[in-house]
Chains A and B, each alone.
Chain A
């Protein structure tokens, strides 16, 4: 039965994780601006607080005080709803992501995940693909042509790369035999020859690369940032958005980045596993964060390096390259699994 202490445990976990997620998003934004600054031979924001550490706070305040503009021609209800549709699922995906093994606090064994369901992977996919509705509706409801084109682009892009994304994880599921993310991670907790970790990245590097590319495309980041390509579409689907509603799209984008990074870590890089994690389970979340940070760095690095794809190139790359390779990868991994077992 649902007892009070279970409920309290859940609420505390949700509170803590939600707070950490929001803080992480705020500081990923700062990290991106600073790192991009260094890549581009400049300093980035460093005026608000020591090393610019209070910059996210200043940004947040600014968003709060800015005038909220709803265009006269816009479909008001959808216009207000769209950023929420984008944001809420993006924040919810954290619920099934495990960031460590069980730890003991005050004599109580606590698993380091909000919840574990046997189709965790599907929950993540379902929630992330809901985000496209937010973007498409934002583009349509604004009644601006730039927004519309951004919305159309993003719908087509997200659904195209979702195929490759789901195909690339089939290999992982073959190895783990479960859709539960905790099980997926635990299957990677052993070694070959005593020192090479049994991470999925080593058994299926192709699947990892496909997942990474598709995940970057799913989060609308460079070089796949066509929905908001500022030099073409001004600001894409959020051209008409300002103030807090714009901030919601912003937060959703970075929440999706964090989710995609955590998924890549869980599925291919052994989640929270690392040296001595069996003895000190608290190290788990630290390893997990470090691995996520690696992917976030990759995101920012790419943004500092690559130009943007053109629309037809994006579609061609997704449909004519990624999907066939992903299909071949499924066959390859299935054959490999048969050899190993």
Chain B
């Protein structure tokens, strides 16, 4: 498995620098946090460590059930994002598909628009 990564003829070889950069990028915040820990002082104070609510004691917990509207947006995103991703391979091979590709894409986007129109009419896109 590791051999696949190290073989320069496989396409996966090009991802190795990304993994290296991941290590560097992860090391950076860790080192910064570690250095900071040596230098800075920390004094315990219950009031200081309470959650910020404009100087008042927080009322209730912040982790309550949140409004349903956020979930609707998330679901819509899932639906449309998947469909958008389908456009990518189509776009890459577009010069080979030609007119056929255009017509086919019309159908695809047509179906997408129907779903979009439905969501619009149902009022899902209205925030308030």
- Taking Cβ atoms with an 8 Å cutoff, the residues of A that contact B are 1-2, 6, 10-11, 13-14, 18, 63-74, 83-84, 87-88, 91-92, 94-96, 114-118, 122-123, 140, 142-148, 152, 155-156, 159-160, 162-163, 166-167, 170-171, 173-174, 177-179, 234, 239-240, 243-245, 247-248, 311-312, 315-316, 319-320, 323-324, 327, 330-331, 334-335, 337-338, 341
Contact = CB atoms under 8 A, between A and B. Distances in A.
Interface of B is mostly: helix
A9 B75 CA distance: 44
Contacts of A177: 92-95
A87 B21 CA distance: 13
22 contacts: A11-B20, A18-B21, A63-B36, A66-B40, A67-B41, A68-B40, A71-B49, A115-B18, A143-B62, A146-B52, A148-B62, A159-B74, A160-B73, A162-B77, A162-B81, A163-B80, A166-B88, A234-B52, A243-B40, A244-B33, A316-B125, A327-B112
Nearest to B49: A72
Nearest to A114: B17
Contact of A327 (B8, B81, B109): B109
Interface string B54-88: 10001001110010001001101100110011011
Given A10-B20, A244-B32, A159 B51 contact: no
Given A2-B13, A248-B29, A316-B127, 10 more contacts: A65-B39, A72-B46, A87-B29, A115-B15, A144-B58, A147-B62, A148-B63, A160-B77, A327-B112, A338-B102
B72 to A, nearest CB: 10
Contacts of A337: 94-95
Interface in B72-125: 73-74, 76-77, 80-81, 84-85, 87-88, 91-95, 98-99, 101-102, 105-106, 109, 112-113, 116, 120, 125
A1 B18 contact: no
> Which has the most chain A C-beta neighbours within 10 Å: B20, B46, B54, B61?
B20
B16 A10 contact: yes
Contact of B102 (A63, A160, A240, A334): A334
A95 B21 contact: yes
Interface string B4-28: 0011100101111110111011101
Contacts of A156: 70, 73-74
A6 B22 CA distance: 18
Contacts of B88: 122, 166, 170, 173, 179
A72 B46 CA distance: 8
A331 B99 contact: no
Contacts of B15: 115, 117
A59 to B, nearest CB: 13
B128 interface: yes
A92 B25 contact: yes
Given A68-B36, A72-B49, A173 B91 contact: yes
